[in-house]
Structure 1
Amino acid sequence: MTLSMAILMLVGMWLSVAAAMLWGVLRIVRRHSHPHHLPTPPLAKPQQTRRARRHAGAH
């Protein structure tokens, strides 16, 4: 095996490993990302509790 063939094989293996890692990272990011183009459903408003009415001058 010549030196140029060994260097080409190293570069080719490096590119294949880099492509596999990039594919894996992009797959994980796509799975765990939330779609930003879809509107989020409105949150339910908490119901207010009724308070006893206090009249003026009552302590």
Structure 2
Amino acid sequence: MSLTMAILMLVGMWLSVAAAMLWGVLRIVRRHSHPHHLAPKALAKPQVAHRARRHAGAH
């Protein structure tokens, strides 16, 4: 096997591994992503007014 063929095979294998890892990551992200049609309902909730917190030692 020539050096050129070995280098081309190494690059090809690296590209195939990188593509497989990218496919796996995109699959996991798509599975764990939140549906976008629920976002407007979540934003429509009335916001509860929060009181200012007083920390210990603050004057």
TM-score range, shorter chain: 0.5 to 0.7
Instruction: Name the Cα RMSD after superposition.
Output: 1.5
Deviation at 1:39, TM superposition (A): 3.2
What's the counterpart of residue 23 of structure 2? 23
The share of aligned pairs that are identical, in percent, is 83
* Cα distance in 1 for residues equivalent to 2:38 and 2:13: 43
Q: How many residue pairs end up in the alignment?
A: 41
* Cα distance in 2 for residues equivalent to 1:12 and 1:18: 10
* Cα distance in 2 for residues equivalent to 1:25 and 1:39: 24
Bigger fraction of residues in helix: 2
What's the counterpart of residue 38 of structure 2? 39
Give the TM-score taking structure 2 as reference length. 0.63
Write out aligned runs for 1:3-14 (5 A).
3-14=3-14
Letter in 1 for 2:28: I
Runs of 4+ in 1 over 2 A off after TM superposition: 39-42
Provide, for residues 25-44 of structure 1, a one-character-per-residue CA deviation record: whole Å limited to 9, x for no partner. Answer: 000000000022x03456xx
Q: Tell which structure's C-alpha radius of gyration is larger.
A: 1
